[in-house]
Structures are given as structure tokens and as C-alpha cells.
Structure 1
Amino acid sequence: MSTPTPHIGAKAGEIAKTVLMPGDPLRAKFIAETFLEDVVQFNSVRNMFGYTGTYRGKRISVMGGGMGMPSIGIYSYELFNFYGVDNIIRIGTAGSMNENVKVRDVVIALGASTNSNYAAQYCLPGTFAPIASFDLASAAAAVAKEKNINAVVGNILSSDTFYCADQTATEKWISMGILAVEMEAAALYMNAAQAKKSALCLLTISDSLITGESLSAEERQLSFTDMMEIALEIAE
């Protein structure tokens, strides 16, 4: 077998110790071409593009993770367990569920509540709380403060459903102080915990479930800058 997994075509040593992981593989391509130098593509399997390059002398990889917990669950598991990756920083978009979290704000996901059954595989005698690496989260908060980036730290929701049949679900999560909703972080945090590795989810608010405000596709791309500055600065 020339590569360690059926989903990632990289050979040993081609992926850096820290991987930035947007959901969209085309966004991974954009990040590599925009922010990194001496870029080499290491994956194109299933068009889930992955690249390794340098940022201010630091070796960093960026790779798409797909949509939903089953997708990021596969890729993050393989990166942690077969490629020796130590840190994965998810960089994505989210919908605000808090009136104080505005469109274009950055959310540092300290915890990831979920309606997923992903943790059932561990057969735990209770409920597992998926949380970020404290070191990565605290470093992200410090960088945001230093750069005057409006960042909010707290609990998010990783949802298995984008279109939810339960019309009362949003209000219930809001009542528990959830800041924003996305679809991947909980699985990433659980995989990191089991592998004894580090993970963080940084999110740019692209729309608000409170006000109905939303960004266009072009505005989403441009609004990524603050989040990318944080992620690149804390990458080791």
C-alpha cells in the first residue's frame, strides 16, 4: 500500500504537524494559494484538496474536511492516527444563535454541544463533553485581542441536520446559551481526545438565526481574513 489510507493520497512526511481544515476543498485551495509559500499539493482523492506550504517560516498544511461529522470524522481520524498530525484547526462558517454574536464576528469554539450520536462508538458510561484544546483556544483569544479582532469564546452546536424537522430546536439551544451552529466541530474534538491530539474550531459568522442577516458568497470569502490571521498565527 503506497499511502496509509484510502481517502488521503499523501505519502509519509508530506503533511505538516498542524493542518488548517475548512469544509470546502476549493477554500483550502484558495487559502494555500493566498497565504502559503512553496505550496505542494498532497491530496486530490475525491477532490478533497490538500496542500502543504510555509507561512512566515512555519510549515503548515491545509485540507478540506467536507460537510458534516461523518466527513470530518474520517479525515481528522486519518490525519491524527496515520499521518502524525498533532493539531487540526477547523476554519469555517456558522450561523449565530446569540443576539450578541454578529455577522462577521469570529467565534472560538471552546465547547461543541451536539445532537449527533457520534460519541456512541466509544460506549462510554455517560455523556462526553467535546471541548477544544485549551492551549489553542487561549492562543487564539490572545491573537484576536492583539489584532483587535472581534472574537467571542464559548459553546457552539455541531448539528447533524441543516434542515431540521423540529421547528422548536433552535429556541431550545438558544436558551442554553449556544453561540452559533455548524456541523463538524464535535466529531473533530472527539477524535482529537481519543488520539491524544489537539483541535480547535474557529468560525466566521456568515448569517444570523436571530436577525436573518446573511453574507453573500463573495462576502463570506472576504470576511475569512480575520479568522485566517488567527489560525495562521497560532499554527505551530
Structure 2
Amino acid sequence: MTMHNDANPGEIAERIVLVGDPNRAKHMAETYLQDAVLVNKTRCAYCYTGTYEGVRVSVMAVGMGGPSMLIYATELCRDYGCKILVRAGTSGGYLEEMRNFDIVLSQATSTTSGINDNMFNGHFSPVADFGLLCTADRIAKEMKLTTYVGGTICNDRLYRDETYKSKMWKQYGMLCSEQEGTAFYTAAAQFGCRALMMVGITTGIRYDENGNEMFVELPDRDPAHSMDDLVQLALKTAAHAE
């Protein structure tokens, strides 16, 4: 047990999928896990452990934002022995061709967050585990999902004014904007764990005539992708990673 998690040692699997919304964790457990057991409900950070395609896997809700992610990812790695962590989240996409619930596999994160400031004699660049990235890319192709692989930008602010130069992130190749990736990869790196973030694109990021960001709705693909496609990809990646 920790300050934020009532699970006992051994009740959380070494392979875990992290989501933001507790209702999403509940849905994943009830829909996809066999013999799922609720092992934590403190602060509504629901954590369930069961099996997925014959492999012991946990799913857990960790809330929104870098500090929340950093707390839970740290405790999962440090105190519960998690070794393979996959984040399944949502994001705003920069590319015009992106459609609703296209999936970005985050190869590395840039950030506006200060969580790693003063920790290093330089700038730490957290990255994905290459093996998990390759596994997810292969499985996504088998599932016929539309995916992009590359850099992502992790922002502390969701709503931003004209002083925020987000066009620069797009210009330098960032695929999308989200809020937890840097904390997630940082915790995994600290404790020698393997991590991969995958995010579904749920909105497009565009610009008005003054350069201010706008969030726009995206059309569906045919056939449409969904949140369930994303969470199944995350579960399969966690379960079948070597």
C-alpha cells in the first residue's frame, strides 16, 4: 500500500495499462479482462487485475495531468513492481489528414512542463521503449488501425492564449498535444521500466487568422475507429510484449 493506492503487494500485475478516466478503467476491466478484481479504489483511481488473452494484466485510472501521472507511475514502478506500462489516452492532433481516433504512438516527448527542471545538468528527453513501440506498431497494422509514429508535445495548459507558440511544435514535426507523456516516460526511465504512450486523436488543432489555437471536430474514418480500438491495442501490446 502507498499514500494513494490501497492495493496490496502482488495484487497489481507487472503489465499494466494506464488511462485517465476511472469509468474507462472500469469499462476495460468489465469488457476485456477475465476474472477482473478491483484492487484499488482510493481517490477513484480504480485499478483492476485480471487476465487478457491468457496473460495477467492490470488496468488503472490515474487522472489528468503530469503531476497525477508522475505520482501513480512512480508508485507502480517503485512499490508494486510494474515492468511494462502502456498509457492509452486522448490527444489533439496537428496534422490535417488525421481523423477521429487515429492513433499516435509516441516515440519521444517534448514538453512545456517543469517537472524535470533542476533534476539534471541539462535537459532530459524521455522516450518510449523501442520493443513496445515495435510491438504496438505491428499489432496496429494487424488490426488495420491508422497510426502515426513520432514526437509528441506534453503541455501543462489545455486552454492556451495567443502567447503560446504552438505552431512551432507543428513546424518541428510534433504530431499531437497531450498532458501526461513526459511524466509517464520520466517515471519509467527512473526505475528502469518499459513504457509506451499511445493516444487517440479526438480533436484537431487549427489556427485562426491571428494564430490562436482552435479545437475542431474531426470526421470519422470508414470504417470508424473508436476508443475501444485504442484500449484493445494497448491491452494487446501490454500482454504480448516480449
TM-score in same-fold range (> 0.5): yes
The yes-or-no answer on 1:229 pairing with 2:232 is yes
Q: CA deviation at 1:118?
A: 1.1
Secondary structure in 1 aligned to 2:216?
coil
The number of residues matched between the two structures is 227
Q: 1:54 aligns with which of 44, 51, 70?
A: 51
Q: CA deviation at 1:101?
A: 2.7
Secondary structure in 2 aligned to 1:131?
coil
Match of 2:222 in 1: none
Q: 1:186 aligns with which of 152, 171, 182?
A: 182
Q: CA deviation at 1:102?
A: 2.5
Amino acid at match of 2:145: I
Match of 1:145 in 2: 141
Q: Take 1:166 and 1:160, find their aligned partners in 2: how far apart are those partners?
A: 16
Unaligned runs of 5+ in 1: 216-221
CA offsets 1:27-63 (integer angstroms, 9 cap, x no match): 1111111111101001011111110011111111000
Q: CA deviation at 1:100?
A: 3.1
Higher helix share: 1
Q: CA deviation at 1:105?
A: 0.4
- Kept after mapping to 2: 8 A contact 1:101/1:152: no
Following superposition of structure 1 onto structure 2, how do residues 8-27 of structure 1 map, counting pairs within 5 Å? 8-27=5-24
Q: Take 2:91 and 2:61, find their aligned partners in 1: how far apart are those partners?
A: 16
TM-score for the superposition, normalised by structure 1: 0.91
RMSD: 1.7
Amino acid at match of 1:229: Q
Q: Take 1:43 and 1:229, find their aligned partners in 2: how far apart are those partners?
A: 22
Q: CA deviation at 1:166?
A: 4.1
Match of 2:121 in 1: 125
Unaligned runs of 5+ in 2: 207-213, 219-224
Q: 1:199 aligns with which of 184, 189, 195?
A: 195
Q: Take 2:37 and 2:75, find their aligned partners in 1: how far apart are those partners?
A: 20
- Identity within the alignment, %: 38
Q: Take 2:227 and 2:66, find their aligned partners in 1: how far apart are those partners?
A: 22
Secondary structure in 2 aligned to 1:62?
strand
